[in-house]
Amino acid sequence: MARLKVAVLISGRGSNMGALIDACAVPDFPAEIVLVVSNRADAAGLETAKAAGVPTALIGHRDDPDRASFEAALNAALDAAGVELVCLAGFMRLLTADFVRRWHDRLINIHPSLLPAFKGLHTHEQVLSAGVRITGCTVHFVRAEMDDGPIIVQAAVPVLPDDDAERLAARVLRVEHQCYPLALRLIAEGRVRVENERVILDASGDGLASLVNPAAGIRAAK
């Protein structure tokens, strides 16, 4: 069976890209990364991809006069590589509705919260300010609105009393590295479909554990 051809778009270190590269290196993984694209020449993830033998491309958004020209160059690179699915991994460039429409249900993103809560930037600061006990991450199909679209995979992470944004981000990132490869596998195996803007999964939820924070057995303060 042919492996799904995937491109990863990055703007920085590309840690989630690295998790996807590691997953795709397993012989029976149903997808392969055929291209990594960055809009920034200083993105450390480009060197990570090159070291793994993955083809890379630099398409600087400042090199094109407008968004349409930038996205035309991006689409040309994706088409030339035979890309079937695009993964955003810290790609700090808003994509137009036209680009999203062209890649409808073939463009996915990971966000460090339990969407639809805490969209946008400074996510972990938002979480801590709100005082929630549980946060997490979400892999979703991309739609024209920021951090919006049918949800594929989510994972919950407890918010601890001594957390700051850096500690919380590190804990969420560890589960991001599990969720993104899982979402890619589910899609590549044909176990994901979208109906009425909801993802229908061919997967069993039996045996899933609940996460309660703080723990049920905690003693009340006197």
User: Is there a contact between 151 and 116 (Cβ–Cβ < 8 Å)?
Assistant: no
Q: 61, 111, 122, 177: which one is catalytic? A: 111
Spatial CB neighbours of 168, under 8 Å, sequence gap ≥ 6: 124, 127, 128, 135, 157, 159, 160
- From the list 176, 189, 177, 185, the residue with the least C-alpha distance to 26 is 185
User: Under DSSP, is residue 140 helix (H, G, I), strand (E, B) or coil?
Assistant: strand
Query: Is 61 in the active site?
Result: no
**End-to-end Cα distance, the chain:** 63
- The catalytic residue positions are 111
